Amino acid sequence: MGDTELFALAARQHSLVTWDQAREHLSRHQIEHRIDAGRLVPVRRGVLAVAGARPRWEQPVLAAVLAGGRATVASFRTAAHLWCLRGFGRPEVIEVTTFGPGRRQLDGLRAHRSRVDGPIHRGRVDGVPVTSVARTLWDLTARPVPPIVVERALDDGLRRGIVTLRALREVFDDLAQRGRRRSTVMRAILEARGERFHPGASEPELDVVRAVVRAGLPAPVPQFPTTVAGRSVCFDAAYPDLMIAIEYDSWTEHGSRSAFDHDRIRLNDVATAGWLSVAITSAFSARQIAATVGAALAARGAAPTPAAPTPDGPAPDAPTPPDQG
Q: What is the pLDDT of residue 137?
A: 95
Q: Is the pLDDT score of 5 beyond 60? A: yes
Q: How far apart, in whole angstroms, are the C-alpha atoms of residue 46 and residue 29? A: 15
Give long-range contacts, CB 8 A cutoff, 24+ apart: 105-112: 106/44, 106/64, 106/67, 106/68, 109/64, 110/76, 111/68, 112/75, 112/76, 112/139
Provide mean pLDDT across the span 41-59: 89
DSSP secondary structure string for all residues of 267-295: HHHHHHTT-EEEEEETT--HHHHHHHHHH
CA of 40: how far to CAs of 16, 37, 49, 51, 136, in Å? Answer: 9, 8, 6, 6, 33
Percentage with pLDDT > 90 across the chain: 44
State which amino acid sits at residue 20. Answer: D
Q: What is the pLDDT of residue 298?
A: 93
Q: Is the pLDDT score of 202 beyond 80? A: no
Q: How far apart, in whole angstroms, are the C-alpha atoms of residue 92 and residue 89? A: 9
Report whether 240 contacts 233 (CB < 8 A): no
- Could you say which DSSP state residue 44 is in? E
State which amino acid sits at residue 61. Answer: V
How do residues 238-281 score in pLDDT, each as one tens digit?
999 999 999 887 655 444 445 555 566 777 888 888 999 999 98
Q: What is the residue extent of each domain of the chain? A: 3-55, 59-191, 203-299
Is the dihedral angle over the CA atoms 177, 179, 183, 189 positive or is it negative?
A: positive
Provide mean pLDDT across the span 123-139: 95
Provide mean pLDDT across the span 75-86: 93
Whole-number average pLDDT of the chain: 83
Q: What is the pLDDT of residue 36?
A: 92
Provide mean pLDDT across the span 310-319: 45
Residue 185: pLDDT band by 50, 70, 90 thresholds? confident
Q: What is the pLDDT of residue 242?
A: 94
Q: Is the pLDDT score of 323 beyond 70? A: no
Q: How far apart, in whole angstroms, are the C-alpha atoms of residue 173 and residue 93? A: 29
How do residues 10-46 score in pLDDT, each as one tens digit?
999 999 999 999 999 889 999 999 999 999 999 999 9
Report whether 130 contacts 82 (CB < 8 A): yes
The class (CATH top level) of 203-299 is alpha beta
Secondary structure class of 224 (helix, strand, coil) = strand
Which of 185-194, 219-228, 278-287 has the largest mean confidence?
Answer: 278-287
Q: How far apart, in whole angstroms, are the C-alpha atoms of residue 156 and residue 53? A: 33
Q: What is the pLDDT of residue 313?
A: 44
Residue 200: pLDDT band by 50, 70, 90 thresholds? low
Q: Is the pLDDT score of 221 beyond 70? A: yes
Secondary structure class of 174 (helix, strand, coil) = helix
Q: Is the pLDDT score of 306 beyond 50? A: no
Q: How far apart, in whole angstroms, are the C-alpha atoms of residue 297 and residue 303? A: 8
Q: Is the pLDDT score of 151 beyond 80? A: yes
Q: How far apart, in whole angstroms, are the C-alpha atoms of residue 213 and residue 316? A: 7
Q: What is the pLDDT of residue 319?
A: 44
